[in-house]
Structure 1
């Protein structure tokens, strides 16, 4: 299923589909769907041509973004734990929330603080343990979940859960 996210911030030159149909403020995708109600074949085709041209122009200019739900979820999974520097409109995509990340430890290194480690997962993400704990072993399963107030807790193998932060 493809999801269309965004709005036209600046309408293209000429008459928009919303204006043509007397529906000011209508989203461009809704205008295409509204064309289905035209009974006359020629009028329906003209409506589809007009509204699809508006959408094509908006996509080309970057005012309308088309996203695939699977790609949104994948992007969120890859950026899980990182500060959201680029808050794209993917925040509003239903069913695309990522609240936990599971992985396998690939490498472990000691931090400058005794008892604290940085572990790297097979997906190339790196997490720093914020509490003194035994180091995780390579190939050990990890489940990282988001907790209240923006923190993250990692359950490493059968050990106790520890607070972590994403390094990269």
Structure 2
């Protein structure tokens, strides 16, 4: 295993333990999405509060699952904090592109943009694990859609 693989493995383990953004969803949450990966049982409920412009003011999630799903949720929460909807749409596209690369590699600029999310690039080689890594991102997109915010409309 290369030193980079070891470092990425450590990033995944650290995020799966730290669980940035994880907590009990408040009663007054504006929109939420429950997603489950039937293949392995990973699950998440992601909640959002939005301002009048549709920008996220609070993102909180509660879930259970493997280290990949939990790390991905933690990384996503950290990455999206304080970002505009256009930036969030770009992160979503970047992460989904990486996960659907099937281990063939993606542009280094993309990996730089998604910061710690790059640690999950190796996951794209394993189709059953891709679902784990994308679980939280799909919950985010669904919760926004339920609030009337389509990420596709905010692409640059």
Q: TM-score normalised to the size of structure 1?
A: 0.22
Q: Which has the higher strand share?
A: 1
Q: TM-score normalised to the size of structure 2?
A: 0.23
Q: Which has the higher helix share?
A: 2
Relative contact order higher in (CA < 8 Å, ≥ 6 apart): 2
